[in-house]
Amino acid sequence: MTAPIRIAAFYKFVPLPDYESLRAPLLRCCEAAPVRGSILLAAEGINATIAGTDPAVDVVLAHLREDARFANLAVKNAWHDNIPFRRMKVRLKKEIVALKAAHADPRRQVGEYIEPRDWNALISQEDVVVIDARNQYEVQLGSFRGALNPGTESFSKLPRYLDETLDAEQHKRVALFCTGGIRCEKATALLLANGFERVYHLRGGILRYLEHVPSAESLWQGKCFVFDERGAVSHAEAPTDEQT
């Protein structure tokens, strides 16, 4: 039986010069729906996780898709017994994911997307450097076998690690992954801006991999940290990949 609460995660890098004016009507919509969770708005796009009943989540998604810039918004859904958020927040930010590297712009260029079914074959190749783009406390719970751990305390520390660890002339193929894909989009944009030519990232992140790749074939070890009261999920708890 499907759990009664839908958890919808979505993001999109898209120019939003008017992002400040979007906040108030979006917050009103979320509160009226009602849903709880967190939505970040910035000039570079939107990043959100919201939770509520199926109809309530649909109300918010319909509101967003009235704006042509969000018409093709892709959503990753999971189901839970209760709402894993205490309140609803819509915040204005300089970045929807803080890398603090102005020349990294996913709206212009990102690395090559690799589908979950093709990820194992890619990261098993000896000439591919595989990097976990998440923070240390996330990596401690689980990661892909053989992946490098930057040991960072925040995503904004990743550029320094990449600069100190990688060389565009020596490391010809680099693959990155993160929880849902947003951090990797920005990290691959950074590497491309820095002269790397063959950069890959896992489409939909770890969560989509856990859903699509059977545990018997998986190269994932441990659990995946998630940013709500669930704490972490495993293969059996991975979200559905319904695009609504």
Residues that are catalytic: 178
Distance between alpha carbon 167 and the CA centroid of its chain, in Å?
A: 25
Helices (H), 33-169: 54-65, 116-123, 136-139, 158-165
Comparing CA positions, the residue from 207, 210, 186, 208 lying closest to residue 133 is 186
- In this structure, the strands spanning 45-52 and 36-42 are antiparallel
C-alpha 56/C-alpha 61 separation (Å) is 9
C-alpha 153/C-alpha 156 separation (Å) is 9
Comparing CA positions, the residue from 97, 84, 88 lying closest to residue 41 is 97
Token output for 239: 């979200």
Cα angle value 224/109/39 (rounded, 5°): 50
